[in-house]
Amino acid sequence: MEQIRIVVGCTKNENHAKVLMLDGGCGMGRAQVLADLLDGSSHFYIYPPGEGSPIGRCALCGGKLATQVTTVFQEEVKKEAEEDVLKTALQS
């Protein structure tokens, strides 16, 4: 089973990033539309976000957002989750 991953990252600080996981059934087209809405680059905005708008900006530092949309398979998601648990355990 596949899932779609949207990585929303700040261009100023790489630690200011979030990962959204979507069901693969929503399709890459819809996922890309969502990503464009999040980073402020969507052509669906009647009035595109201006310089003072929080749309497309990092809530922590105000830097611009960039998004990346990829397809991942369930096995990869499980492996990444296991690696994250191991990293957390080693840091403690």
pLDDT tens digits, residue range 51-79? Answer: 889 999 999 999 999 999 999 887 766 67
Domain count, the chain: 1
State residue 4's pLDDT score.
94
Ramachandran sector of residue 27 (left: φ over 0; alpha: ψ -120 to 50; beta: rest): left
Determine whether 56 is exposed, middle or buried from the number of CB atoms within 10 Å of its CB (0-12, 13-18, 19+).
Answer: buried
Residue-range definition of the domain harbouring residue 67: 2-91
